[in-house]
Structure 1
Amino acid sequence: MVNVGVIGCGYWGPNLIRNFNSLPGANLKTIADLDEKRLHQVGLLYPNTHKTTDHREIIEDPEIQAVVVATPMSTHFPLGSQVLEAGKHLFLEKPMATNSDDCRALNRLAAARGVKVMIGHTFVYTPAVRKIKALMDSGELGDVYYVNISRVNLGIFQQDANVVWDLAPHDVAMLNYLFEAHPVSVSANGRCYVQRDKGIEDVAFVTLEYPGRRLAHIHVSWLDPNKIRNCTFVGSRKMLVYDDVSPSEKIRVYDKGVDVQPHYHDYGEFQLLYRSGDIFVPRIDTVEPLKIETDSFLKVVSGQEENLSSGEEGLRVVQVLEGACRSIAEDGKPIPLKYDD
């Protein structure tokens, strides 16, 4: 049994609290938030859990072995550092920190204290994404040429980060997991419309190049009329569309494509052969991704499972985000990406 404390009862914290409370291997010992009203409202659902407005009660409690930090990203480094200094395992919401140097510092601290760090890259634990990985690994799609992603909605506007830092971590982490690789370069364009005075981009178009000339295009926006969570994977054999907001058919596999006639002597003989076959809708498990993720954290802490969203992976995602923002500042200039060994 792992005693868990949760810091942050805001937008995402209650979901983490609910899932850790439901796990047989976890004991939700304490929750903390600066907002007394919010803490009280969330706490009503967990009468046996201690509530406090002082996060240090969690960090200094010798009975708590693991701490969840679900607070604004500007607080991730200072709070994460305190947790690790106390020798406790850390579940830290995405993005890991506001810059790569802070990520490195957290990883060094975790190594020195002999504790685990997991970053909240929830899509790595989503059944639909795991199904996509199985289809890719089996060769069902053939060679994946490119991926086109839209993650847009009207809001939620953030005050301490632009839309790239807010939304793109999901997709970068997902693509890294699916490709088992990391981008070699990034280019991006973004604009500030609603929060122009603060210089906070609310829409951005990010292009990643992965090894093997694979491309991924990510459109993120807080300024769109509809909530869209859509990914299109175009492969040499088949194509796949992942619609995360679809209530039933989240994945559709299309037996569509184009083949070039292998032998021709001149342009007159050149032919493209179009394929348009069946549409396959695979069965997807209905388990909540956050339940899988929180359970995985407990197993990582106890050494039973590989850490798919480690601090090292969190650092790589942040390095991509930094490159994207640098590209935006330089009018879309491609930025080469290099990672720590």
Structure 2
Amino acid sequence: MSTLHPLKVAVIGAGYWGPNLARNFANSPDWRLMAICDQDGSRAQQLADRTAAVAVTESVDELLASHDIDAVAIATPAQTHHDIAMRAIAAGKHVLVEKPLADNRADGVAMVTAAEKAGMVLMADHTYCYTPAVMKIRELVESGELGEILYVDSVRINLGLVQPDVDVFWDLAPHDLSILDFVLPGGLNSVAVSAQGADPLGSGKSCVGYLSLPLANGALAHIHVNWLSPTKIRQMVIGGSRRTLIWDDLNPQQRISVFDRGVTLQRQSDVLDDAAQRRASQISYRLGDTWSPALPEYEALAKMVGEFAISIREGRSSRTDGRAALRVLSVLEAANRSLTRGGRRSPVSGSGLLLEEAI
């Protein structure tokens, strides 16, 4: 348990995600939940009653002006994130924002810039990055256990609600994109993206989508998102030159499996001159053991709010800071452009630049 005085936080938004944030802040030794803010006062009061928050307000301005808080956690619709975050930063508050960071890259850039100039922590609630499984995947990639990453294939499908304000890419793909940014060496640094979407329901937005991103050294990431599947699948395959990892988030007994199986390509200089023999000799298959690492049990959101507190106290960027969220946002915008161009590859804004130039 922390021996430091708890930081003081307010949750803005008492709808779908706000209660999860409020519960974890209330239960954390690093935090003291001070207030709930929501335009619906009765909804805010109900959440405050469940989490022992001492204050309720319907006004963000009143919250920032009249309540003793160090930080705010924003759990409101994406189109409101920029306005609320900018007001909070101007008031000297650290900011946690649920995904996505904003509903457009320009607003995301403004948020990151304002926070850095003010010396405030801006963190994205990319919850999956704090799960035991994804933390282990990051560790295995960093240690070189998988070797050089050759491909990533991710599936996130279910029979879900068609969202009123965003398409399936903006609803589901941020999870996979934030995970890739978290675990891949160098983060999410694709220079272009191609996206294909379908709207078989006639809803006016893509309900099924496929996203392809070239990665470093000729590798490729592919993400499938779908609101219309009768079965729920949450899987990611990360193929490496040494080993391949499969993450099945819906299998609590064995979320991660590591396969010492794959294809080995010899250098052309190592084989015979004859073309046919060279092609045959270049490829060899290996079949080794399969193992599953033990994972600790904890709630990802608890880990996330702890990281928020540590970032503030140490004056450092969080593991899922505003720049990481901006990289995800940049890919989503590029996917939008690709959709309007019939799936043609679209450049990712800010990619390949120095950080200062990228934002």
TM-score, normalised via structure 1 length: 0.94
Secondary structure of 2:113's aligned partner: helix
Question: Do the aligned residues in 2 keep the contact of 1:6 with 1:30 (CA within 8 Å)?
Answer: yes
Instruction: State the Cα distance separating 1:186 from its structure 2 match.
Output: 0.5
Secondary structure of 1:255's aligned partner: strand
Instruction: State the Cα distance separating 1:219 from its structure 2 match.
Output: 0.5
Instruction: State the Cα distance separating 1:133 from its structure 2 match.
Output: 1.5
1:151 maps to what in 2? Answer: 156
1:285 maps to what in 2? Answer: 296
1:164 aligns with 2:172: no
Measured in 2, the distance between the counterparts of 1:137 and 1:46 equals 38
Matches for 1:153-232 after TM superposition, within 5 Å: 153-179=158-184, 180-181=186-187, 182-194=189-201, 196-197=202-203, 199-232=204-237
Question: Do the aligned residues in 1 keep the contact of 2:154 with 2:224 (CA within 8 Å)?
Answer: yes
Question: Do the aligned residues in 2 keep the contact of 1:29 with 1:49 (CA within 8 Å)?
Answer: yes
Secondary structure of 1:156's aligned partner: coil
Q: What per-residue deviation string (whole Å, max 9, x for no partner) do you get for residues 225-255 of structure 1?
A: 1111100011111111001121121100011
Question: Do the aligned residues in 2 keep the contact of 1:36 with 1:53 (CA within 8 Å)?
Answer: yes
Question: Do the aligned residues in 1 keep the contact of 2:151 with 2:240 (CA within 8 Å)?
Answer: yes
**Residue 343 of structure 2, aligned match among 329, 332, 339:** 332
Measured in 2, the distance between the counterparts of 1:249 and 1:304 equals 37
Measured in 1, the distance between the counterparts of 2:117 and 2:242 equals 47
Measured in 1, the distance between the counterparts of 2:286 and 2:230 equals 34
Instruction: State the Cα distance separating 1:260 from its structure 2 match.
Output: 4.1
Q: What per-residue deviation string (whole Å, max 9, x for no partner) do you get for residues 101-120 of structure 1?
A: 11111122223332111011
Measured in 2, the distance between the counterparts of 1:313 and 1:69 equals 17
Secondary structure of 2:217's aligned partner: coil
**Residue 105 of structure 2, aligned match among 75, 97, 100:** 100
Measured in 2, the distance between the counterparts of 1:98 and 1:279 equals 42
Measured in 2, the distance between the counterparts of 1:84 and 1:192 equals 39
Measured in 2, the distance between the counterparts of 1:41 and 1:193 equals 39
Instruction: Return 118-127 or 265-274, whichever deviates more.
Output: 265-274
Measured in 1, the distance between the counterparts of 2:135 and 2:207 equals 30
Measured in 2, the distance between the counterparts of 1:24 and 1:57 equals 26
Q: List gaps (5 residues or longer) in structure 2.
A: 1-5, 351-356
2:334 maps to what in 1? Answer: 323
Instruction: State the Cα distance separating 1:62 from its structure 2 match.
Output: 4.6
Measured in 2, the distance between the counterparts of 1:268 and 1:310 equals 51
Measured in 1, the distance between the counterparts of 2:38 and 2:163 equals 19
Percent of counterpart pairs with the same letter? 38
One-letter amino acid of the structure 2 residue matched with residue 200 of structure 1 = K
Measured in 2, the distance between the counterparts of 1:239 and 1:48 equals 46
Matches for 1:1-341 after TM superposition, within 5 Å: 1-179=6-184, 180-181=186-187, 182-194=189-201, 196-197=202-203, 199-260=204-265, 262-264=270-272, 265-268=274-277, 270-271=280-281, 272-303=283-314, 306-339=317-350, 340-341=357-358
Measured in 2, the distance between the counterparts of 1:167 and 1:139 equals 29
Return closer, same or farther for 1:114/1:136 CA change in 2, 3 Å cut-off.
closer
Instruction: Return 130-139 or 143-152, whichever deviates more.
Output: 130-139
TM-score, normalised via structure 2 length: 0.89
Measured in 2, the distance between the counterparts of 1:266 and 1:103 equals 53
Secondary structure of 2:314's aligned partner: coil
One-letter amino acid of the structure 1 residue matched with residue 271 of structure 2 = H
Instruction: Return 260-269 or 70-79, whichever deviates more.
Output: 260-269
Q: What per-residue deviation string (whole Å, max 9, x for no partner) do you get for residues 106-153 of structure 1?
A: 122223332111011122222211211211122221111000000111
Q: List gaps (5 residues or longer) in structure 1.
A: none
Instruction: Return 244-253 or 27-36, whichever deviates more.
Output: 27-36
Question: Do the aligned residues in 1 keep the contact of 2:100 with 2:329 (CA within 8 Å)?
Answer: yes
Question: Do the aligned residues in 1 keep the contact of 2:105 with 2:326 (CA within 8 Å)?
Answer: yes
